[in-house]
Amino acid sequence: MIYSNYKLQRNKLFSELLLQLTPKNSIFYRLRNSYLGHVFTSFSRLNLDVPSKDGEYIGIKKEDRIILFEFNDDKPNKVYKMLNGSTKWSVENFIGHQIIREYSLDEIHRKITSIEKAFSLQKNLNEQSNFVHGDFTHFNILVNDENEIQIIDELNSENSALYDVFYFYSYLKQNMERRKNLSPVIRNKILELVGKSIIKIYSYDKKSEFEMDFNSIKIPTITGLLKQNHKRYLKEFYSLFYPDV
């Protein structure tokens, strides 16, 4: 995580980015997200030539990628990116917050309508072309203040019409399974809600039609899903549609 001012740690965007970086939610990262952690790690500063010396920023650094969110009156308004080892910033307008910012029942209940809108939007996009998003996760679905949906970072790959929603469900499940402080009961209730929304949007009149799409799901070699989880997640996704099989 990158931030120019400690007070920005209280901003909801900080917790959203932290959710991406800390899937296990370990004691270390919970300490890091506190004032004591801020003090202990204040020596590990990153010197950056930021777009504006007067700006305030929250950011994230992953390998050779740096993404900075510039703030105006405590709200993000610009997104700056330095990708693939580049030394120049690209700039975009801030278009929304990630659709899920915490793994809780209250959060999913609040966001379930937006989640269904995202499923419906992506399903329509898939039907209009031979390509799927390829990285359809809760981190790549953004919602603005008007509850408008934006889906970002498409890989545009060929796959089953079910692949995107399979990946969304499985990636969410995998992230929640890695959370040390999330009870299996809450995790399963969240997955039940999301699963019902999947069935609602991706309904099939015939089992044979579903199985045609299901059997054509291809998990890429490079994927966010751990290889040891592939077979289990496919089986559990099938059970969403046909639980008695």
The contacts of residue 209 (CB under 8 Å, 6+ apart) are: none
Token pair, residue 62, equals: 């992953």
pTM of the model: 0.89
SS3 117: helix
Q: What would the 3-class secondary structure string for 4-40 be? A: CCHHHHHCHHHHHHHHHHCCCCCHHHHHHCCHHHHHH
Query: pLDDT, tens digit, for every residue of 201-222?
Result: 999 999 999 999 999 999 999 9
Please state, for a pLDDT cut of 90, what percent of the chain lies above it. Answer: 67
Amino acid 90: pLDDT: 94
Amino acid 32: pLDDT: 57
Burial of 161 per CB tally in 10 Å (0-12, 13-18, 19+): middle
Query: What's the rounded Cα separation, in Å, for the pair 78 and 94?
Result: 5
CA 71 centroid distance within chain: 21
Element (H, E) at 208: helix 207-215
Parallel/antiparallel/unpaired status of strands 149-151 and 157-158: unpaired
Burial of 165 per CB tally in 10 Å (0-12, 13-18, 19+): buried
Token pair, residue 225, equals: 């899903």
CA 91 centroid distance within chain: 21
Query: pLDDT, tens digit, for every residue of 1-49?
Result: 888 887 888 888 988 898 887 765 555 555 555 555 555 555 566 778 8
Query: What's the rounded Cα separation, in Å, for the pair 192 and 43?
Result: 44
Query: pLDDT, tens digit, for every residue of 37-91?
Result: 555 555 566 778 888 888 899 998 887 889 999 998 889 999 999 988 788 999 9
The side-by-side arrangement of strands in the sheet containing 90-93 is 2-3, 56-62, 65-72, 75-82, 90-93
Whether the predicted pLDDT of 101 surpasses 80: yes
Rounded to an integer, the average pLDDT of 151-163 is 94
